[in-house]
Amino acid sequence: MNSNAIQKPMLAFQLHDSKRMQSGNRLPCGLLVCAVALSRFVFRSRYLYDIDSVNYALALDRFDPTVHQPHPPGYFLYVYLGRLARLIFHDSNTALVALGVVASCAAAAVIYVPAADWFGSRAALFAGLIFLFAPLC
């Protein structure tokens, strides 16, 4: 039997095991995601405040980038996710804000998990806190 054939599955298991989040990192990651969700919910917009947000809200009814609903290139998938969210929330602004909150929570997890794997949990926590308190996020 070829020794490479035996080593390949073992390397695959090692890679698979290294990609799992260790149980010690789940609680800080979960708390970070909850903090991001809470902060985004508390400071959410309550009305459409800019021409871009108005155009996206109009695109939920009629997707047409040629008339800037929304502006080109249009972000087809984002608009259709907004349509799905509007089925739940019955309001265009609330649907788009909910998409933003969910995306922020996913981004926090995507920042934390690789940072914990690469640099350790302390660096991951600081990276997540920077994301939490960054004004542009």
Q: Each residue of 86-120: pLDDT tens digit?
A: 999 999 999 999 999 999 999 999 999 999 999 99
Query: CA-CA distance, 27 to 125, in Å (whole number)?
Result: 11
CA Rg value for the chain:
20
Mean pLDDT of 49-68: 90
DSSP 8-state class, residue 67: G
Q: Grade residue 73 by pLDDT with cuts at 50, 70 and 90.
A: confident
Residues whose CB is less than 8 angstroms from the CB of residue 62 and which lie 6 or more positions away in sequence, other chains included = 69
